[in-house]
Copies of this chain bind each other. A is one copy, B any other.
């Protein structure tokens, strides 16, 4: 543990992957906080305590680093297993729980920032939008669609097109709040307002799709 100790207090072994992870962490944070154009490669290198050339040697160019950062963000925001597996209780309570979890996710500052960043760059990098959609909304809707099919089979819901109903549910749930938050003109809701909105959404859904 000695013959190649560097001039600075650096570690004995170069440890390539540690720097790569530091760069990616910095990139995820800065791109999402400030956006693509407002984030320079200098800033990423500085935040990662690394030289700029190291960034280029690891990721090629700015676009590749950005794409990798977005992909990484999408993966860490959605847990690998989605939450619908083991719910219990009456259907309305299950829907309320799903709705609360989903609403908390899509109105989080993190998710909104990723959302805006992807939209801002989708014209210049067309594959980015599809990447985000598949990693995020598509997975959630697929899981909820399966949940609905099971409830329909059990006779607890009366839905002809479960896929359409699943998207309707999530569109209702995002609602005006999410649309306004996209445009930054709506503060975070109070606990009570969230509960009211979630209940109104679930109740409308049940009025439309409960068996007659």
Q: Chain A interface (Cβ within 8 Å of chain B)?
A: 34-35, 37-38, 116, 118-124, 126, 128-130, 132-133, 137, 141, 161, 164, 167-168, 171-172, 174-176, 179-180, 182-185, 200-201, 204, 207-209
Contacts and interface: CB of A to CB of B under 8 A. Distances in A.
| A interface, over-half SS | helix
30 contacts: A35-B124, A38-B124, A116-B120, A116-B122, A116-B123, A118-B183, A119-B120, A120-B120, A120-B121, A128-B183, A129-B183, A129-B185, A130-B183, A130-B185, A132-B183, A133-B180, A133-B183, A133-B185, A141-B176, A164-B200, A167-B175, A168-B172, A168-B175, A171-B172, A171-B175, A204-B208, A207-B207, A207-B208, A207-B209, A208-B208
A139 to B, nearest CB: 14
Contact of A35 (B123, B171, B176, B209): B123
Contacts of A174: 171
A35 B120 contact: yes
Contacts of A132: 183
Contacts of A171: 171-172, 174-176, 179
